[in-house]
Amino acid sequence: MAQTRGEADVQRIAALARLALTPDEVDLFSRQLGDILAYANEVQSLDTTGVEPTSHPLAAAPIWREDTLVPSLDRDTVLTEAPGASRPAGLFRVPKVL
């Protein structure tokens, strides 16, 4: 049986991803790839005359909140409550992350 273009593409992509696909998977994925490419062609055929290109789907500018000063926690109180903290050094002991 001759291999279709979609099947060859799926097998090439699977090889690049180091995936071992069964013949049923190759058939399924090649049909799905064909459906995706057919839809992409359908989208390409839409008339976009007069539609300005955008770099983001939301054209609105970001909404920023005002910075407000709030009091911080007292360092000595926090160091006193923290397990394994060094008050003289002003440091917290944390678990190693490797």
SS3 letters for 42-60? Answer: HHHCCCCCCCCCCCCCCCC
Query: What is the residue range of 40's domain?
Result: 5-44
**What pLDDT does 13 receive?**
94
Q: What angle do CA 56, 39, 15 make, to 5 degrees?
A: 95
CATH of the domain at 10: 1.10.20.60
35 belongs to a structural domain? yes
Structure tokens at 21: 């696909």
Q: How many domains does the chain have?
A: 1
Residues linked to residue 86 through DSSP beta bridges, in sequence order:
91
pLDDT at site 2: 64
What is the rounded (10 degree) CA torsion for 17, 23, 24, 27? 80
Would you say the pTM of this structure is higher than 0.75? Answer: no
pLDDT score at 58 = 73
Whether 76 maps to a domain, the answer reads no
Closest C-alpha among 94, 21, 51 to residue 7: 21
